[in-house]
Amino acid sequence: MSRQPRAFFALDFGSATTSAALVGHAGGRWRLLAHAAAPSATDLDAQLYGILERVGQADRDLLDFVTAQKRAKIAALVADLSRLESHSSPPRQIAVLAGSRRQRRRLEEVAARAGWLVVGGSADADDPLALSRLVLAPETDAVLLGADGIPSGDERRHLPMLGALVSAAARCRPELAVVLAGGAAVQESDFSGTGAHDRIPQVAETPADTGPPDTGPLAPGEAEPAAAAEAAADPSEAPSLAAPSLPAGTEAAPSEGDSPTSVAAPQVAPASMPVSAPDGRDRVLLAPDGEAGHPAGAALQQVLEGLRARADDTRLGIARSVRTLALLLDKPVEAVEVGINGGLRCRAEPFGTGQLTVAASHAAMAAGSFAPPNPSDDIVDSILAWSTVVLDRYRLSDRLYDMRICPWGEADGEGALLRLAAAKSAVARLVAATPEISARDMPYVLIAAGGVWASTPPSVVALAMADLVRRPGVSRLACDQARLLGPLGAITDEEERQTMLKDLMEDVLLPLGSLILPSGVRQGRSAGRMRVLGDSANSDIDLQPGGIWAVELPPGQTAVAEMDFKDTVRLGGRGHRFTVEVVGGLGGLFVDLRDIPLRLPDKADQKRSTWEAWQRAMWSEIDE
């Protein structure tokens, strides 16, 4: 065959999980052909071999078609097919220094939202020795020294000392990245002798958009890649196989001896653009203060993300993909991702119907990890509060530690319950850290992503979302089961990403079901009735306050839910009667009449029983 391959591997290298998917162009569009997830220590080639073998066993002709090779050896295909990669950036620590506690807290919040592990101190509360310990600690990778744009007196008098302290630390540790935010930029002259920060500009560079990679000479009848992208953007003009080109950001398969985790940095989207020093020397990064941007601190967050994250960072990739999905659907989209080294909450919302601009907000937080390193007592207590397993603090700490060193271990039985509690606690931390997202209406689609949900039953994932993202409204629930949002977010070109996601949207978003979540339902008596009118089943349900129900509605089916409440409730708007269109999913239709926010008993055992009752309703296999 002379055609080029119409398939590539989308690889998400997480801290705990390596997720691989085979995406091929068949039947006039890009499709997810197979995917698999395995612990990150697993041999990647063995994983890819398994995927190709499965596809080959199911439909060898399809494999031959998308790989453009007839009966090729699987091992050869593993080596030949291109790869689109995203990686979880390793956790890094930043020391936040400020003149006042108020400023320190503000900066710590922003740094945490940018995904840093944060330690901090302020000159009005800590002595210079304690502050020096923070910046000289080997695990500290960067220092953020900040003040208001126009520093007030309580900050201004400490800035010279802090500038001298950080400058001295930078001379001891040339690898230390320094960010001067807001009014602290006046201390830039302190760093004139430190000299060794010339390496910092690499994060300030804008990777050039190099366009699609050179895929070699075109076969007869094939379109130019640019033309192919244009044709693919227009559905009416993209029916043929000539259209697809591999997305920019896909790498040619590594040659022998290459690391499978190699990165083609210029081809993937830049993380963020830090602001470099105005004189071009770039010895330190100058950044806006902690209040600039919308929401407050967004500008500084962008700088700090650029300093922390790889260019093909998975979490930032998910945030970009969510933005693209919002554009494609022309509706608000939200995602919650939880991993071993952090989590992400993001939302994108078009400004109006048909608009090509979206308002996006995200926080990629190290505290969003389901098994954070050295968990504080607060975190342990928070997991215990969500847990249906009876454990004391120390035993839970032991299990969290083991979960961290072996994230895939004991994923069944009690381990699954504990993992769910840890994941919910992580999502709760993410929700608490993103009030600007919680203040918005319920999204059109709510996506659960991340390795922690990989083995959890769909209805339980849906219940977790309902427990944590509690706003009145109707939302579709989905799961990024194949973990494609990260790699697709690494595609540089927005248009190309749109084309790819347009084709793959249904494959990427595994439907969990729909969630109906009214507020203002009075306790103690029947709240009303609901009728679900669908193609396959009609149901009539008495709405009992305080509970959550799952109505069977298979994936791919739509239905109309008519609700007649006795009292006025909020469900988007206020009223008694509502009619909404709902879609099915693996979990079905969820009707949640619990309080917003959830009200739980104070006693631990009663709280545990309440969780267990709700969980058992969605997880009948729990006692197996």
> Per CB under 8 A, which of residues 44..63 are in contact with another protein?
46-47, 49-50
The verdict on whether omega for the bond into residue 373 sits within 30 degrees of 0, i.e. cis, is no
Residue 39 in contact with another protein, rule: CB under 8 A? yes
* CA distances to 227, 265, 271, 617 from 209, in Å: 17, 10, 13, 50
Exactly one of 201, 266, 295, 415 binds another protein (CB under 8 A); which one? 415
Q: Look up tokens 């080639």; give the residue.
A: 45
Residue 173 in contact with another protein, rule: CB under 8 A? yes
Residue 153 burial (CB count, 10 A): 9
319 touches 346 (CB < 8 A): yes
Site map 374..413 versus another protein, x via CB under 8 A: --------------------x--xxx-xx--xx-xxxxxx
In angstroms, what is the minimal distance from the CB of 572 to another protein?
34
**One-letter amino acid for residue 48 of the chain:** L
In angstroms, what is the minimal distance from the CB of 196 to another protein?
13
Site map 453..482 versus another protein, x via CB under 8 A: --xxx-------------------------
Exactly one of 84, 165, 179, 465 binds another protein (CB under 8 A); which one? 165
Chain centre distance of CA 598: 25
Determine the 3-state secondary structure of 71 from DSSP.
Answer: coil
Full DSSP string of 495-547? HHHHHHHHHHHHHHSEEEEEEEE-B-PPTTS--EEEEEEESS-EEEEEE-TT-
> Per CB under 8 A, which of residues 120..159 are in contact with another protein?
127-129, 132-133, 136-138
Stretch that binds another protein, among 180-188, 360-368, 558-566, 613-621 (CB under 8 A): 613-621
In angstroms, what is the minimal distance from the CB of 122 to another protein?
15
Sheet with 548-551, side-by-side order of all strands: 358-365, 343-350, 333-338, 445-449, 473-479, 510-517, 588-592, 548-551
Nearer to another protein, 378 or 624 (CB): 624
**Nearest CA among 259, 256, 248 for reference residue 312:** 248
Nearer to another protein, 397 or 544 (CB): 397
> Per CB under 8 A, which of residues 429..458 are in contact with another protein?
455-457
Nearer to another protein, 455 or 538 (CB): 455
Nearer to another protein, 284 or 316 (CB): 284
Euclidean distance between CA atoms 503 and 24, whole angstroms: 11
Q: Look up tokens 């949002």; give the residue.
A: 485
In angstroms, what is the minimal distance from the CB of 152 to another protein?
21
Nearer to another protein, 223 or 417 (CB): 417
Euclidean distance between CA atoms 63 and 76, whole angstroms: 13
End-to-end CA distance of the chain: 51
Nearer to another protein, 169 or 309 (CB): 169
> Per CB under 8 A, which of residues 15..34 are in contact with another protein?
none
Judged by the rule CB under 8 A, the positions of this chain that interact with another protein are 38-39, 41-43, 46-47, 49-50, 127-129, 132-133, 136-138, 160-161, 164-165, 167-169, 171-173, 394, 397-399, 401-402, 405-406, 408-417, 455-457, 619-622, 624
